[in-house]
């Protein structure tokens, strides 16, 4: 259920008006900021649920080789799973690329003053990617 050009233009105009309102002379207090961010997060989740989820589900059905639903009796019912098989074949090599060392990602400091921040960013990114609360390589 993709949005029409008119709907996209209307949403863009609303966002631009909101930007102008927020760019006022008065500084935002913490409650206003929290409310704004919560609204933006909710809008992003709604967008995914309304526009992207259907396409993702359809793509997943194709990937899994599920029937299309328009099959006819007396005609071939074969559904090719070549893409899924190729992805499954390539997955170990891809996983070794990302998880073959202790660090999935490493931030490099630009100068000596950036060393602590680069180390912290590296530790954080690796904890998020392969930490206890994330399935990491099994995604």
Q: What is the pLDDT of residue 134?
A: 65
Largest CA distance in the chain: 72
Which residue carries 């609360």 as its tokens? 133
Q: What is the pLDDT of residue 96?
A: 85
Triad 95, 100, 103: Cα angle to 5°: 110
Kindly list the averaged pLDDT for each block of 10 residues, start to end, along the chain of length 139. 77 79 74 88 89 88 88 86 92 85 89 95 87 62
Angstrom distance (rounded) from CA 120 to CA 82: 42
Count CA atoms closer than 13 A to 97's CA, side-chain side. 5
* pTM, to two decimals: 0.50
Q: What is the pLDDT of residue 111?
A: 93
Q: What is the pLDDT of residue 113?
A: 95
Angstrom distance (rounded) from CA 29 to CA 26: 9
Q: What is the pLDDT of residue 6?
A: 85
């Amino acid at each position: 259920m993709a949005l029409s050009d008119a709907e996209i233009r209307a949403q863009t105009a609303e966002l631009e008006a909101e930007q102008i309102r927020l760019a006022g002379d008065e500084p935002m207090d913490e409650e206003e900021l929290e409310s704004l961010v919560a609204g933006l997060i909710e809008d992003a989740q709604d967008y995914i649920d309304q526009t992207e989820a259907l396409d993702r589900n359809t793509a997943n059905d194709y990937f899994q080789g599920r029937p299309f639903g328009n099959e006819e009796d007396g005609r071939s019912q074969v559904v090719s799973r070549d893409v899924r098989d190729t992805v499954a074949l390539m997955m170990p090599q891809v996983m070794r690329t990302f998880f073959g060392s202790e660090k999935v990602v490493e931030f490099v400091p630009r100068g000596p003053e950036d060393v602590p921040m680069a180390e912290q960013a590296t530790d954080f990114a690796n904890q998020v990617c392969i930490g206890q609360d994330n399935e990491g390589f099994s995604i």
